[in-house]
């Protein structure tokens, strides 16, 4: 699917990988709907991208009615919806059993799965509902979904039971959704990113960043955010990519700790 002239929602789009992707796609000629809960950052990004080219919706991805209204707002402003990139997510360090030998907080586990997995499904399904209204481009495509998983979905580390489970669930969405929606002209793929140089990571002390980069295989550095955004663009543009999870991690495989 061509990017230019299309409308694409990016969740978690006010910061980090989401913001980098929003900027990259806008530079390629897309209109951007930014879903996030950081009002100030979202407003600033809209100002940077231009109010005629982007809009911000302060929305919780787990909110059924809130997401529905936000997707409607994007369609109302830009006339249609063609893509959805689900970057919204949280990291919740925890163990199955804490240091005192007690069972972990169920609320923490549930919140992580709700945001990372349920929230992804919520936005995806409501976005797809609108994409089905599009005339197929080149007789094939009405829309594209890119969900964000993680290397932790395959090699979850100690302390990641909630995060790893939620991201493995995102991977599990791919094939059944791609099989269901492909015949309707909508492709579904995912990216499992490794260590990227988000503002949060790059704010760490130099020695901590050096230790993190030492765990990366090759190239031995953190990923550049534009490299993630480029992968999103590739999945949008390549019409034969469907039902896949792309590992974007410099061949890195996570160790137990």
Of 168, 189, 167, the residue nearest 177 (C-alpha): 189
Task: Tell me the pLDDT tens digit for each residue of 183-232.
Answer: 999 999 999 999 998 887 888 788 888 888 888 989 999 999 999 999 99
Task: Tell me the pLDDT tens digit for each residue of 81-127.
Answer: 999 999 999 998 899 998 899 999 999 999 999 999 999 999 999 99
Q: Which residues pair with 32 in a beta bridge?
A: 8, 54
Is the pLDDT at 252 greater than 80, yes or no? yes
| pLDDT value for 32 | 98
Q: Which residue has the higher pLDDT, 201 or 132?
A: 132
| pLDDT value for 29 | 98
Task: Tell me the pLDDT tens digit for each residue of 10-33.
Answer: 999 999 999 999 999 999 999 999
| pLDDT value for 201 | 82
Fold topology of 7-245? Rossmann fold (3.40.50)
CA distances from 241 to 55, 109, 173, 235, 249 (A): 28, 32, 15, 6, 19
**Cβ atoms 166, 88 nearer than 8 A:** no
Query: What is the rounded CA–CA span in Å between residue 82 and residue 141?
Result: 9
| pLDDT value for 203 | 82
| pLDDT value for 132 | 98
Q: Please spell the DSSP secondary structure of the chain, one letter per residue.
A: ---TT-EEEEETTTSHHHHHHHHHHHHTT-EEEEEES-HHHHHHHHHHH-TTTEEEEE--TT-HHHHHHHHHHHHHHHS---EEEE---------SB-TTSPBPPHHHHHHHHIIIIIHHHHHHHHHHHHHTTSPPBTTTBSEEEEEE--GGGTSPPTT-HHHHHHHHHHHHHHHHHHHHHHTTTEEEEEEEE--B--HHHHTS-HHHHHHHHHT--SS-SPBPHHHHHHHHHHHHH-TT--S-EEEESTT------
| pLDDT value for 202 | 85
Query: What is the rounded CA–CA span in Å between residue 165 and residue 242?
Result: 22
Q: Which of 24, 35, 163, 228 is catalytic?
A: 163
Q: Which residue has the tokens 């020695």?
A: 207
Task: Tell me the pLDDT tens digit for each residue of 144-174.
Answer: 999 999 998 999 888 999 999 999 999 999 9
Phi-psi region of 190 (alpha: psi -120 to 50; beta: other; left: phi over 0): beta
24 catalytically annotated: no
| pLDDT value for 197 | 85
């Amino acid at each position: 699917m061509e990017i230019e002239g299309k409308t694409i929602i990016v969740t978690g789009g006010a910061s980090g990988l989401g913001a980098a992707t929003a900027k990259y796609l806008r530079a390629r000629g897309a209109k951007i709907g930014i879903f996030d809960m950081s009002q100030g950052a979202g407003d600033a990004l809209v100002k940077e991208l231009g109010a005629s080219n982007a809009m911000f919706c302060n929305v919780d991805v787990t909110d059924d009615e809130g997401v529905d209204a936000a997707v409607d707002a994007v369609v109302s402003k830009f006339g249609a919806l063609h893509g959805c990139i689900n970057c919204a997510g949280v990291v919740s360090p925890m163990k199955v059993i804490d240091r005192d030998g007690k069972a972990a907080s169920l609320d923490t586990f549930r919140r992580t799965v709700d945001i990372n997995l349920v929230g992804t499904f919520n936005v995806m399904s409501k976005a797809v509902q609108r994409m089905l209204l599009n005339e197929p481009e080149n007789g094939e495509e009405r829309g594209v979904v890119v969900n964000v998983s993680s290397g932790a979905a395959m090699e979850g580390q100690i302390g990641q039971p909630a995060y790893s489970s939620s991201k493995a669930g995102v991977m599990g969405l791919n094939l059944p959704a791609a099989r269901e929606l492909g015949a309707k002209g909508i492709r579904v793929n995912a990216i499992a990113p490794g260590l990227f140089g988000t503002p949060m990571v790059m704010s760490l002390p130099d020695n901590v960043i050096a230790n993190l980069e030492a765990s990366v295989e090759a190239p031995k550095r953190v990923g550049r955010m534009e490299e993630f955004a480029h992968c999103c663009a590739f999945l949008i543009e390549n019409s034969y990519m469907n039902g896949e999870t792309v590992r974007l991690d410099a061949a890195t495989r996570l160790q137990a700790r």
